[in-house]
Amino acid sequence: MELPERGLGTMGIDDPDPIETAIELGYRHLDTAQIYDNEAVVGEGIARAAVDRDDLVVATKLWIDQLDRVAESTAESLERLGLECVDLLYVHRPKGAYDPDQTLPALADLQDAGVIDAIAVSNFELADLERFIDVLGEPPAANQVEYHPLFQPTDRLAHARKHDYPLVAYSPLSGGRVGTIEPVVDVAKRHAITPEQASLAWLTAKGIHPIPKASSHGHLAANLEAIEVTLEAADLEAIDGLERERELFPE
């Protein structure tokens, strides 16, 4: 799947106004989930925006207690979103009711029926990814993982590159901490940008698709502008060299 370079993470957004604003500014990838309890909010923002639905990539995720009722739960998500289909449907985590031999074929049935465009996964480790390929005969359309300067799961990035699918990064701003990470701040100063923009530009340069959450017009616009930032090899190496063990959302 060809994903837009910048998407919007919506966890914690409970007002359709930022969704509408993001779309009007140019965001074309919107990411929600059942567990965020805001699919209806995202759907309302989409409905308000003066952009053709076909121009958007809309993603949601089945929570771990819904993975044994894929068809029914997906229908409920679509009703909340007010959409006939979603572009990406994720298995949120390979936990709970997840059984690859049951869950994944059920998702494939929805894809065949045109209810979803593509099957994606989130928080999958290498063994989970290989099992996905074994069951469905192809890699996922995307894998969404926590990825930021303080947590860099390079094994998942290597797998995505090997199998030619996009890696989507949630929490790309280190939970709001990038402004305190010295190498990121140094890169930002060299390019006269914010540390947040430096982190997003670093991810984009690696071929990763970040989905930062933002609500204000200013932050939404600034995150989008980071697409235009080109970092040098030394900048990338400085951030690559950070300690990578500060996972914000462990299992």
Distance of alpha carbon 8 from its chain centroid, rounded? 8
**Average pLDDT of span 1-10:** 91
Q: Name the more confident of 245 and 94.
A: 94
Does the active-site annotation cover 147? no
Does position 128 have pLDDT exceeding 90, yes or no? yes
Q: How far apart are CA 227 and CA 205, in angstroms?
A: 9
Q: Which spans in 116-232 are helix H? A: 126-136, 154-163, 182-191, 195-205, 217-225
Q: What's this model's pTM, rounded to 2 decimal places?
A: 0.96
Q: pLDDT class for 55, splitting at 50, 70, 90?
A: very high
Phi (first) and psi of residue 58, to 5 degrees: -110, 125
Extents of the domains making up the chain = 8-240
- In the CATH hierarchy, which fold is given to the domain comprising 8-240? TIM Barrel (3.20.20)
**Average pLDDT of span 30-41:** 98
Q: How far apart are CA 75 and CA 233, in angstroms?
A: 46
Q: What is the average pLDDT score of the chain?
A: 96
Cβ atoms of residues 214 and 223 within 8 Å: yes
Pick the catalytic residue: 27, 36, 90, 98? 36
E-strand stretches of 19-166: 29-31, 57-62, 86-91, 116-122, 143-146
Does position 178 have pLDDT exceeding 80, yes or no? yes
Give the model confidence (pLDDT) of 197-248 as tens digits. Answer: 999 999 999 999 999 999 999 999 999 999 999 999 999 999 999 977 777 8
Per-residue model confidence (pLDDT) at position 251: 65
CB atoms within 10 A of CB 199: 29
Q: Containing H/E element for 233? A: helix 233-240
% of the chain with per-residue pLDDT over 70: 98
